[in-house]
């Protein structure tokens, strides 16, 4: 499992980069979902979002899931390319697979990478 130390994580498997304001789904989440075939971003640039509110919906060959904002703030960018290449979430969840960027964002209830990895391991057993 890949959980970069510079990111913050939610127990519902989203990540937030306090340095850039980017957010998306974790490597653990994409591996649990398997082959992602559809992504819909539910917010637009200029929207103000709150931590814990739905920002996207994804579907895989196994399941569908709502993606919740790990931080609140004003949306400054939306990764519109994901709808054309949803598999990017599987191949690069922390890079090209970012979903939304916010500014002025305050993280909600998040974990550091070590605590998140422990949380994921506990669910795997």
In a domain, 57, yes or no: yes
Number of structural domains the chain divides into: 1
Q: Answer for the pair 6, 115: CB distance below 8 angstroms, yes or no.
A: no
In a domain, 118, yes or no: no
In a domain, 106, yes or no: yes
> Mean per-residue pLDDT for 27-36?
95
Q: 101: domain CATH number?
A: 2.40.50.100
In a domain, 100, yes or no: yes
In a domain, 124, yes or no: no
In a domain, 3, yes or no: no
Question: How many CA atoms within 13 Å lie on the side-chain side of 27?
Answer: 13
Q: What's the pLDDT band for 48 if we cut at 50, 70, 90?
A: very high
Give per-residue pLDDT as tens, 59-102.
999 899 999 999 999 999 999 999 999 999 999 999 999 999 99
pLDDT, residue 90, reads 96
Q: What is the mean pLDDT of the chain?
A: 95
| Residue span of the structural domain in which 67 resides | 8-112
Burial 90-118 (b: 16+ CB within 10 A, else e): beebbeebbbbbbeebebbebbebeebbe
pLDDT for 118 beyond 70: yes
pLDDT for 107 beyond 90: no
pLDDT, residue 125, reads 66
> Mean per-residue pLDDT for 109-118?
95
In a domain, 22, yes or no: yes
């Amino acid at each position: 499992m890949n959980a970069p130390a510079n990111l913050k994580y939610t127990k519902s498997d989203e990540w937030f980069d306090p340095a850039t304001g980017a957010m998306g789904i974790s490597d653990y989440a994409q591996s649990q979902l398997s082959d992602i075939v559809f992504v819909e971003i539910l917010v637009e640039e200029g929207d103000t979002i709150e931590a814990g509110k739905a920002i996207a919906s994804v579907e895989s060959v196994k399941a569908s899931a709502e993606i919740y904002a790990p931080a609140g703030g004003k949306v400054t960018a939306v990764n519109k390319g994901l709808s054309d290449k949803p598999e990017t979430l599987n191949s690069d969840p922390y890079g090209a697979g970012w979903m939304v960027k916010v500014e002025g964002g305050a993280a909600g209830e998040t974990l550091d990478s070590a605590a998140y990895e422990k949380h994921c391991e506990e669910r795997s057993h």
